[in-house]
Structure 1
Amino acid sequence: MIDIVASGVLFDMDGTLVDSTSVVEGAWGRFGAQHDLAPSTILAFSHGRQTIDTVQHFLPDLDPAEQRRLADALVADEVENTHGIIEIPGAAAFVRRLTAAGVPVALVTSAPRDLALNRMRAAGVDVPTVVVTSEDVEHGKPHPDGYVRGAALLGLRADECVAFEDAPAGLQSAVASGATTVVVGELDHDVTVGLARVRGYDGIEVTAEPPVFRLRG
């Protein structure tokens, strides 16, 4: 159950609005095979983080130019591959309800812009007017920069917003920004303790009373 009053909504993308599990696991599985790394270990670290941060973490001794080349190749592969991408249950309708109610909404993702837009469209989820991607921040998640920037672009402070996230790095980012943070899905982690949780968005009511709105469900 959630009952939250806020002035804006900040959404992560992968695992929060969009289920791209098959694409992500395939890309990192191939990367792991090429570099003798266990895919499960890579996935445990990479979820919610920028691709370059993951490459640097697992291949720290590579020349920075080669790290960037590998990251760019991974992203290019994922941009073109949208097969099997679907929405998190109720996500598309929930975003439409928020928009119809006049609630300010931003997407805050660790993905590059082209990748984010392709996945949102493939899943049938409307792209908010405000989109913050990896190109827009100096420090990726778990740093709070993305959520702070997303709120600012809505004309708000992060602590006036509610953030929906599913991964440890993203949840750390949202909490650090000051946003009221909601866990999406089943993650059990130290950072989820005490946070509200939803498994999907069906049944969440949106009541708008500008300059705030209320989510109940």
Structure 2
Amino acid sequence: MFAGRKFAAFLFDMDGTMLNSIASAERVWAAWARKHGLDVEAFLPTIHGVRAVETITRLALPGVDPVHEALVLLQAESDDVEGVLPIAGAVPFLNALPPERWAIVTSAPRPLALLRMQAAGIPVPALMVAGEDVSHGKPAPDCFLLAAKRLGVDIGDCLVFEDAPAGIAAAEAAGASVMVISATHQHPMATPHTAIAGYDTISVAIDDNGWMTLEAQRSAA
């Protein structure tokens, strides 16, 4: 697993990577899609890992203001966090990390991110880069570059944990290493990156300078 390579910081996507909010998000977005006459089954796979305003803008629906609709969806998603759960092993894994060495980098607006993290019991990081913190969301690399800058580390020394194609592309474009979290994938994802189902299969070793190395958890005999 990265051949004992040391990383200065870990950058985590949130939805699908630290927690599973698919049921909640898809309930809200499905209702919105039906209201606007969209094919719900075809539309829902396009919403993950991307900012709402950009998802709506791409649709180019006549008479629809993407900024207004994104705010409507934000309120609806904030009102529905039922069934939001942590990815296996996420909480103890995060609690084992030096606070100044990790960040959450999400396409979700900060208020929604905080609500979902609270619902799933995910610890709030010292640094979070949310959807409103950048002009260009994933798959643009801006969010990961900003997180590395604010942590005071080189993006090339960061490991990004992601689940969605847009986020993986953003991490690649930024120049970070990538670990794919497959916990919420319904079908195997073709990827050149290492993939794990959850954090209960890995642990972290920290050297005297705070640099981190991933290690595979040994199963009990």
- TM-score, normalised relative to structure 2: 0.90
1:152 aligns with 2:133: no
Runs of 4+ in 1 over 6 A off after TM superposition: none
Instruction: Show the counterpart of 1:130.
Output: 127
Paired residues of 2:24 and 2:84 also in contact (CA < 8 A)? yes
Paired residues of 2:202 and 2:214 also in contact (CA < 8 A)? yes
Instruction: Show the counterpart of 1:118.
Output: 115
Q: Partners in 2 of 1:165 and 1:98 — Cα distance?
A: 18
Task: Note the C-alpha offset of 1:82.
Answer: 1.2
Q: Give the root-mean-square deviation of aligned CA atoms.
A: 1.6
Mapping for residues 69-108 of structure 1, pairs under 5 Å: 69-99=68-98, 104-108=101-105
SS state of the match for residue 6, structure 1? coil
Q: Partners in 1 of 2:41 and 2:158 — Cα distance?
A: 33
1:143 aligns with 2:140: yes
Cα deviations across residues 65-112 of structure 1 (Å, max 9, x unaligned)? x2211111001111121111000111111100113xx66011000000
Letter in 2 for 1:37: L
Letter in 1 for 2:28: A
1:179 to 176, 180, 195: 176
Cα deviations across residues 34-71 of structure 1 (Å, max 9, x unaligned)? 111122322221110000011111234435xx221111
SS state of the match for residue 77, structure 1? helix
Mapping for residues 1-217 of structure 1, pairs under 5 Å: 1=1, 3=3, 4-62=5-63, 66-99=65-98, 104-185=101-182, 186=185, 188-189=188-189, 192=191, 194-209=192-207, 210-217=209-216
Letter in 2 for 1:203: T
Instruction: Show the counterpart of 2:219.
Output: none
Q: Partners in 1 of 2:30 and 2:174 — Cα distance?
A: 32
Letter in 2 for 1:207: A
Letter in 2 for 1:174: A
Paired residues of 2:100 and 2:126 also in contact (CA < 8 A)? no
Query: Per the alignment, do residues 153 and 212 of structure 1 end up closer, same or farther by CA in structure 2, a change over 3 Å counting?
Result: same
Unaligned 5+ residue runs, structure 2? 217-221
Q: Partners in 2 of 1:74 and 1:59 — Cα distance?
A: 17
Paired residues of 1:103 and 1:213 also in contact (CA < 8 A)? no
- TM-score, normalised relative to structure 1: 0.92
Letter in 1 for 2:165: P
Q: Partners in 1 of 2:157 and 2:131 — Cα distance?
A: 23
Unaligned 5+ residue runs, structure 1? none
Between 30-39 and 166-175, report the one with greater CA deviation: 30-39
Task: Note the C-alpha offset of 1:115.
Answer: 0.3
Between 116-125 and 53-62, report the one with greater CA deviation: 53-62
Q: Partners in 1 of 2:210 and 2:97 — Cα distance?
A: 13
Letter in 2 for 1:91: A
Q: Partners in 1 of 2:61 and 2:34 — Cα distance?
A: 17
